[in-house]
Amino acid sequence: MASYDSDEEIDYSTDPDWSHITPLPQDDGENPLAQIAYHPDYVVAMSYLRGVMAVNDHSPQVLKLTADIIGMNAAHYTVWGYRFKTLMALEASNSLEGEKANWSWRKELDWVQSIAKQYEKNYQIWHHRQLIIDHLNDPTGERERTNEMFASDSKNYHVWTYRQWLVKRFSLFDKEELDTMELLLKEDVRNNSAWNHRYFITLGRLGIESPPEGVIDREVKFAKDAILTAPQNPSPWNYLKAVLRKGNINVVSLVDFCGQFAPIDSEDDISSSHALDVLSEIYDQTGDLGKAEQALMLLAAKYDPVRKNYWRYRKRLLGSGESVPVASEKAPAVHATV
Amino acid sequence: MADVNPAAAAPVTTTTTNEPPPPPPRPTFNRDRNIKYWLRCLRTLLPTEYTSNDLNRTSLAFFCVNGLSILGELGNLTKPDERSQWIDWLYGCQLQSGGGFRASPATDIGPHLSDANRIWDPATLPGTFFCLITLLSLGDDLTRVNREDTLEWLATLQRPDGSFAEMHSGINEKEDTATRDPRFIYLAAAVRWLLRGEEGSLSREVKDIDIDQAVRYVQSCEAYDYGYGSRPGAESHAGHTFCAISALSLLDRLHPPKQPVSYPIGLPNPSQTLRWLLSRQNAPTDPDAFDPSSHVSPPPPSFPPSDAHNGFNGRDNKRTDTCYSFWVIGSLDLLKKAHLVNSESNREYLLEDTAHRIGGFGKWAGAPPDVLHSCLGMVSLGIFREEGINRVDSALCTALQTREWAESLEWRRKKST
């Protein structure tokens, strides 16, 4: 095997590279549950994988076998683990970049990216990448790689989890990170994942620490500006409320801001159910129970009718102090050991 | 007949008036079509597309068996020898030593197994949970389960922060990179609930998991909008929120007692999490205005929104999807708040939009049915006692009968001395 090529077909039964491995067929018993109509190539490759695992073979051709299987089942966690262990073994014996394997961590990362673009809803790919970057201890280019993924799916949960790990692992709480979130939100102000990441890098990571001077004001303004462009978007409303809590600012301070989107005495001008919801909280707190009830009834009757049971339930709780406790942070947002 | 509905006997009005047209007939659950769907899944090969689930075949087995079980037809429409072969297949996934079940026969190397290679054929938390619950659905009493070994193994998966590893994997992974999301706490809580039984029912002393620490970890996954994410700081997600809530439920730590207690219990902000959960119910995305290949948010519903055909999404500003009808309503059921859901609108979404003409449910309107969405769609309807679906249990996502069967097993009782 002179070079590595994942598209190259392998005939395991005739290839001399594989003559030392006994393929082990799957034992599925007499009448299995959930039997899958496997592609014949998958059946053969999996038999060789079992054969390889049985003898703990981590030689260069295993990279080919594992790539072959990943191409047919990218969610195969065992094969990813086996591949990682093989890469580590080849590196340890100085043979990863040798003539036989002719591979490198860089080539692996490029290949992984191409697989990630093919199979977007996949956790294992990102976990594999994480293991490699952690091992190499170098995040260079990784943010760009995740940005490429956001260009095709800006809410990919696995990619965001990876991005958050990357930022934490290499302390990338910098202007570039904030600018990227600003860009993503400019492109799509409804991208809740980007809102969440923005919160994480500005305030969430602090746990119970106080935020630096000016951050609360900046984030309040950022959220309010976003609400002005799309008042019915839940993401910046949740963000705004969280920022206020973090800054120990009472939600009552939003009374005029909410009034712009929910003038409760001028029904036809109401443009946001979220503003009505916050107003009901505010009036409950200030003891204006009549107005609080009015806001909730507008929600139930017209502005958020699918939740009418909930708004009526909230109405029953008015004045009890139970509906919306305005407690300060009860649990630190970031766990100390993570 | 005394119980005839008088309205049904009333003459049909044919006069034209200014009255609004009668409401469309209420959709119904097509029981026969769904029975056929599950029998087909159980008796014929699943399509090649399921290959991506090959390493989690026991989860597919769970959905298929559970599907027919929730319809109450598993005992009627399958033969005893079929069921006993399926039971044998599930027990075939139990590891010979060390406790737990593998998630698929794909990693089983039979007689070639040795101490040097057993790391590639591990027991996993999903494999163990899905095998146990499917065995129970098939009427097995779990007496062939290596109960003590499995519980011992379970405790070794827990980390100091309270989270659980999915399995002891073949690579020596640093804790920092390993999966630690609420799914695995849920599965661990469920396996513990299924196997531990009463104090004194085990044949030897087995170290329990650290429940306080597990609860603390779950609580730490609360996001700033009060949903729960895959780890502290992650975006709220209805699937992880269900796992967080049902883990607490199965550990008997969801509902704090009236008197203050010294151990961690409950959701830190239940009324806010309630609000987040209920906010998941949303109007459908207009298919004409939505480009599925687009990477940005679907266009928001018109304002004020319609309350018809509202399903559930998993995160803010995402499309509604059949499975979230279960993850969200199941969570609310455990919080004893499912009555706040607009269940009729959910029915419209599931029965008129995502139910498929060949039976089962797709992810969303127009999608082909698959076993996960078909099962979860039915459980969601079952929570509201849909006609034609048996009673269900939200925490285990199964027929209530299966939970009651588990609770009735003799080995759970304290051994009399």
Residue A335 lies in a domain: no
> Is the predicted pLDDT of residue B21 greater than 90, yes or no?
no
Name residue A284's amino acid.
Answer: D
Q: Which CATH number applies to B28-45+53-110+117-285+303-412: 1.20.140.10, 3.40.718.10, 1.50.10.20, 3.40.50.450? A: 1.50.10.20
Q: How far apart (Å, rounded) are the C-alpha atoms in residues B258 and B273?
A: 20
Catalogue the long-range contacts made by A18-22 (C-beta closer than 8 Å, 24 or more residues apart).
Answer: A18/A48, A18/A61, A20/A57, A21/A48, A21/A51, A21/A52, A21/A55, A21/A57, A22/A51, A22/A54
Instruction: Report the pLDDT value the prediction gives residue A7, as an integer from 0 to 100.
Output: 58
Name residue B113's amino acid.
Answer: L
Instruction: Report the pLDDT value the prediction gives residue A207, as an integer from 0 to 100.
Output: 82
Interval A9-32 mean pLDDT: 94
Residue A52 lies in a domain: yes
- Point out the domain boundary residue: A249, A271, A303: A249
Least confident interval from A119-123, A274-278, B2-6:
B2-6
Mean pLDDT score of chain B: 93
B213 in reach of chain A (CB within 8 A):
no
- Point out the domain boundary residue: A167, A183, A198: A167
> Is the predicted pLDDT of residue A133 greater than 80, yes or no?
yes
Residue A337 lies in a domain: no
> Is the predicted pLDDT of residue A183 greater than 60, yes or no?
yes
Residue A334 lies in a domain: no
Instruction: Report the pLDDT value the prediction gives residue B291, as an integer from 0 to 100.
Output: 77
Q: How many residues does chain A have?
A: 338
8 A C-beta contact, residue A223 and residue A243: yes
Mutate which of B317, B329, B341, B343 to disrupt the A interface (most A C-beta within 10 Å)? B317
Instruction: Report the pLDDT value the prediction gives residue B313, as an integer from 0 to 100.
Output: 98
8 A C-beta contact, residue A148 and residue A114: no
- Residues of A within 8 A of B236 (CB-CB) are 196
pTM value? Answer: 0.94
Name residue B407's amino acid.
Answer: E
Which residues 126-145 on chain B approach chain A with CB closer than 8 angstroms? 134
Query: Higher-confidence residue: A210 or B329?
Result: B329
Nearest CA in chain A to B227: A238
> What percentage of chain B has pLDDT greater than the value 90?
86
Residue A75 banded pLDDT, cuts 50, 70, 90: very high
- Residues of A within 8 A of B92 (CB-CB) are 27, 29
- Residues of B within 8 A of A153 (CB-CB) are 295
Residue B74 banded pLDDT, cuts 50, 70, 90: very high
B225 in reach of chain A (CB within 8 A):
yes
Helix (H, G, I), strand (E, B) or coil at A36: strand
Instruction: Report the pLDDT value the prediction gives residue A221, as an integer from 0 to 100.
Output: 98
Residue A244 lies in a domain: yes
Interval A218-224 mean pLDDT: 98
8 A C-beta contact, residue B72 and residue A44: no
Number of domains in chain A: 4
Residues A97 and A4 in one domain: yes
Q: How many Cα atoms sit within 13 Å of B292 on the Cβ side?
A: 5
Interval B179-204 mean pLDDT: 96
B116 in reach of chain A (CB within 8 A):
yes
What residue spans define the domains of chain B? 28-45+53-110+117-285+303-412
Residues A183 and A226 in one domain: yes
Smallest CA–CA distance, residue B37 to chain A, in Å, is: 13
Residues A232 and A266 in one domain: no
Residue A336 lies in a domain: no
Smallest CA–CA distance, residue A190 to chain B, in Å, is: 6
Instruction: Report the pLDDT value the prediction gives residue B334, as an integer from 0 to 100.
Output: 98
Report pLDDT digits (tens) over A141-157.
999 999 999 999 999 99
Interval B335-359 mean pLDDT: 98
Instruction: Report the pLDDT value the prediction gives residue A237, as an integer from 0 to 100.
Output: 98
Report pLDDT digits (tens) over B36-57.
999 999 999 999 999 999 999 9
Query: Higher-confidence residue: B177 or B263?
Result: B263
Residue A8 banded pLDDT, cuts 50, 70, 90: low
The range of the structural domain enclosing residue A156 comes to: 109-167
- Residues of B within 8 A of A329 (CB-CB) are none
Q: How far apart (Å, rounded) are the C-alpha atoms in residues B321 and B60?
A: 19
B41 vs A307, B67, B247, CA distance in Å?
Answer: 36, 10, 29
ipTM confidence score:
0.94
Report pLDDT digits (tens) over A285-324.
999 999 999 999 999 999 999 999 999 999 999 998 776 5
* SS3 letters across A252-297: HHHHHHHHHHCCCCCHHHCCCHHHHHHHHHHHHHHCCHHHHHHHHH
Residue A62 lies in a domain: yes
What lies within 8 Å, CB to CB, of B412 at 6+ separation is B197, B198, B201, B406
Residue A137 lies in a domain: yes
The answer, yes or no, to whether the previous bond of B304 is cis (omega within 30 of 0) is yes
Q: Environment class of residue A47 by beta-carbon count within 10 Å: exposed (0-12), middle (13-18) or buried (19+)?
A: middle
Report pLDDT digits (tens) over B140-157.
999 999 999 999 999 999
Interval B319-348 mean pLDDT: 98
